Amino acid sequence: MASSAERFLAGEIFEESTSLSVADLCRICGIDERQIEELLEEGVISVTAIETSERRFSGAAVRRTRIAVRLQRDLGINLPGAALALDLLEEIEQLRRRRPV
């Protein structure tokens, strides 16, 4: 007899369970390798490990990359500006969680 729990899709926490290659990150975020290099240079994302001489990223890079891409596209700002906005947004988010209004 099937238990009801089996009908639920089991998700995994992407940020913790994942190791992504440059190609994975490009595919998931819809960007190219050149943009990955720019994101790395600007410190928006960072390499979490090197496996067999290939750079790997954690799933957390996906969210930061996607927001940086959206901010650039929608607000007409350049990558350093998007990187700054991203850092400030995270700081605001932390402060807000500490003391919800």
Partner 1 sequence: MEFKDYYKVMGVARDATEAQIKQAYRRLARKYHPDVSKEKDAEARFKELGEAYEVLRNPEKRAAYDQLGSGPRPGEDWRPPPDWGAGFEFTEAGPGGPQADYSDFFETLFGAARGGAGRRGGRRAAGRGEDHHARVMLDLDASLEGGSRTLTLRMPELDAEGHLVMKERTLAVQVPKGILPGQTIRLAGQGSRAGESPPGDLYIEVEFQPHPFYRLEGRDLYLDLPVTPSEAALGATVKCPTPAGAVDLKIPAGARAGTKLRLRERGMPSRPPGDLYAVPVITLPEQINEQARAAFRTLAEAQPFNPRAHLGV
- Which residue ranges make up the site for partner 1 (CB under 8 A)? 5, 7-18, 27-30, 59-60, 62-63, 66-67, 70-71, 73-76, 85, 89, 93-94, 96-100
Min separation Cβ 41 and partner 1, Å: 22
- Please, which residue, 55 or 63, has the CB nearer to partner 1? 63
- Please, which residue, 27 or 49, has the CB nearer to partner 1? 27
Min separation Cβ 10 and partner 1, Å: 5
Tell which residue, 77, 75, 84, has the closest CA to residue 92: 84
Residue 71 · residue 85 · CB < 8 Å: yes
Tell which residue, 12, 95, 78, has the closest CA to residue 42: 78
Tell which residue, 73, 68, 63, has the closest CA to residue 83: 68
